[in-house]
Amino acid sequence: MAIHKVTDAEFDSKVYKSTTPIFVDFWAPWCGPCKLAEPILEELSTQTPNITFLKINVDENPDEAAKLGVMSIPTTILFKDGSEVGRQVGFAGKHGFETILQKAA
């Protein structure tokens, strides 16, 4: 599995209307902690095939981040049946991501 990019225009159909759990990484290219998170999220995406991993560049797609109150990056949010069930603000390492992903069960 890989992490796919999503835009503000696609967010509704790919996240809110999804029947599978969706893990979204809100990031920007200039964000150092976002770069640290990327290989860990890539690894987790291969270990958890029942969850779809998406990333949204907040510089290019600010609307959805604003709607969801994303004030700092990286912020990762887990959605299940179109609703937020977990959120992590900042980079807390692999264990932090794994803790949120457990909420998809």
Q: Residue ranges of the domains in the chain?
A: 4-88
- DSSP E strands: which ranges in the chain? 4-5, 22-27, 52-57, 75-80, 83-89
pTM for the structure as a whole: 0.96
Question: For 56-98, what is each residue's pLDDT tens digit?
Answer: 999 999 999 999 999 999 999 999 999 999 999 999 999 999 9
Residues in the chain: 105
Active-site annotation, residues = 31, 34
Please tell me the predicted confidence (pLDDT) of residue 2: 84
Does residue 1 surpass a pLDDT of 70? no
pLDDT band at 105 (very low <50, low <70, confident <90, very high): confident
Architecture of domain 4-88: 3-Layer(aba) Sandwich (3.40)
Does residue 103 surpass a pLDDT of 80? yes
